[in-house]
Structure 1
């Protein structure tokens, strides 16, 4: 594939340019960053971060990277990076001048990466051809994977996502599809998953003690707790102090959720029926919102 065609997708262009992809072989499918991501500040931040990280890592070897796509495609920088980070010795030439030698060198390098990261071929978000073709999306995925494996404490910019277009030439013509893809992890999803893991561990360790959590299911204690912590008095006319039906419990819980949302303490959707039904996880997540805010305050 002509590298100039691929490079065109990382530069501002018109939609019609996507429709002139006759250089893609029939049956071939390529996923590229759309030109609309050219003004993506988080993407530029990640590119700069990775560039500076590589230059700092290879400073003693006097290697300076200016463009991730242009400077990594031939395998030279990747070769030095893996040897430096993983103390790996790769049985390939340091400098590969021809495309044939570059392809062979990249094959060895990427095989070593996949082995180190314990990734199957189906899990790889890059290939020899895509790196050789200076594909930015593949190059970023590769560098992020290497950085996370060899320097897990490296503070990569989180939540970097790009708009992508997948182009495929079929017997019926050109087929395209758009999507949004994360290059670095969604921090909010990680934190949410971490909380889920923590709750799961808590329930499995001592489920009996969690029966006390169900006392919040009618909303009464929850409302009184919110009022106490937030420093305001709840008019007894606004809720049922001794709810006698499910509807009255739902009224209390919905009022509590509204107060939490208004106070900026609730940043995820909650089904009030789950609370009334005594779902421990749902109740614990609500209590965790209050705990997160007030745990650092003095009694």
Structure 2
């Protein structure tokens, strides 16, 4: 009696699974090759960005209107990366008590929400703005309020000169890296941030302009920082011994603070006042006005000043008075 040999069936089964394995292997190899090619295409696309043919229909530009974007290659510049990392660290340090973490200056700052928090913290003020909104119109409205406070009341820039600023509502909201970096650098310098900004940072900007039915493109090098001395002069700040200290020996800052507190208390004790925290107790100008009166020998009437300046206007009035070094008597009444 003939017996059926099971070996061929087993061989067929093995052959079938072998084929499945081969097909799977080929599919994975194909996927890997496609992924590698996609990466190569992306790199070539980025490196040849300036040679791309730009379709005018894709841009809603008026005649002669310009639009700009930062060349992606600038983001890979080591100085630009260093500047962004330093600014991110500074912002996160300032907003740590509010549990706010900023990871990307373009994606996290464009809508004005975090900019508002940062400016409020630095200037110790409260900006009256609408609640969080997801609409573009609402975001731009909020951003405009924040920038108006910054430009007009803090930086005190003449509105007639706003066109000369390196930032605007549209440029910040469109996530223009050059505009955002300019704004953050100006804030850091104005409020004497305890950081050292790298010198001579620049980005390449691609500018697109509509001329008839065509779009013309050109590259412009935009300077973000130059030397520390030049940057200080731009916002009316002359570098002094404290800037040198922050640049070269920031670890000694606490020792300097203790020395200043001892000096201040030596005089304020005459009016039964004591200072333990320079930042918190000197931020509104009250203690500083009293100290100046004691040092210069003029009488300060407590009825003439707000013992705790709460509004932005009150703090500005104190600042204006304190900047006038030739003032010999106090007159803060309207």
- TM-score, scaled to structure 1: 0.55
| TM alignment of 1:186-225, pairs within 5 A | 186=227
Deviation at 1:189, TM superposition (A): 6.6
Runs of 4+ with >6 A deviation: 188-191
Indicate yes or no: 2:219 matched with 1:181. no
SS in 2 for 1:19: coil
Secondary structure of the 2:126 match is coil
Please give the alpha-carbon distance, in whole angstroms, between the structure 2 residues aligned to 1:18 and 1:126: 28
- Provide the TM-score with structure 2 as the length reference: 0.50
Mapped partners of 1:86, 1:188: distance in 2? 23
Structure 1 41/31 Cα, relative in aligned 2: closer, same or farther at 3 Å?
same
Which of 191, 200, 223 is 1:150 aligned to? 191
**Aligned position for 1:297:** none
2:59 corresponds in structure 1 to 23
- Paired residues of 2:90 and 2:193 also in contact (CA < 8 A): no
Equivalent residues in 2 for 1:119-130, closer than 5 Å: 119=157, 120-130=161-171
Deviates more, 1:60-69 or 1:144-153: 144-153
User: What are structure 1's unaligned runs of at least 5 residues?
Assistant: 1-10, 192-299
Q: Does 1:79 pair with 2:116? A: yes
Q: 1:52 to 1:96 in 2, by over 3 A?
A: same
CA-to-aligned-CA distance 1:112-164 (integer Å, 9 cap, x gap): 11112233212211111111111111111111111111226642222111122
Identify the residue that residue 156 of structure 2 maps to in structure 1.
118
Q: Is the 8 A contact 2:90 2:195 kept in 1?
A: no
Work out whether 1:140 is the aligned partner of 2:177: no
Find the counterpart in structure 2 of residue 48 from structure 1. 85
Larger radius of gyration: 2
Are the structure 2 counterparts of residues 124 and 164 from structure 1 closer, same or farther at C-alpha, using a change threshold of 3 Å?
same
The answer to whether the Cα contact below 8 Å between 2:205 and 2:219 also exists between their aligned partners in 1 is: yes
| Counterparts in 2 of 1:67 and 1:37: CA distance versus 1, 3 Å | same
Stretch of structure 1 that moved more, 30-39 or 57-66: 30-39
Deviation by residue 1:225-268 (Cα, 9 ceiling, x = unmatched): xxxxxxxxxxxxxxxxxxxxxxxxxxxxxxxxxxxxxxxxxxxx
State the alpha-carbon separation in 2 of the partners of residues 61 and 152 from structure 1.
Answer: 18
State which drifts further: 96-105 or 151-160.
Answer: 151-160
Q: CA RMSD in A?
A: 2.5
CA contact (8 A) 1:93 1:105 kept: yes
Structure 1 162/65 Cα, relative in aligned 2: closer, same or farther at 3 Å? same
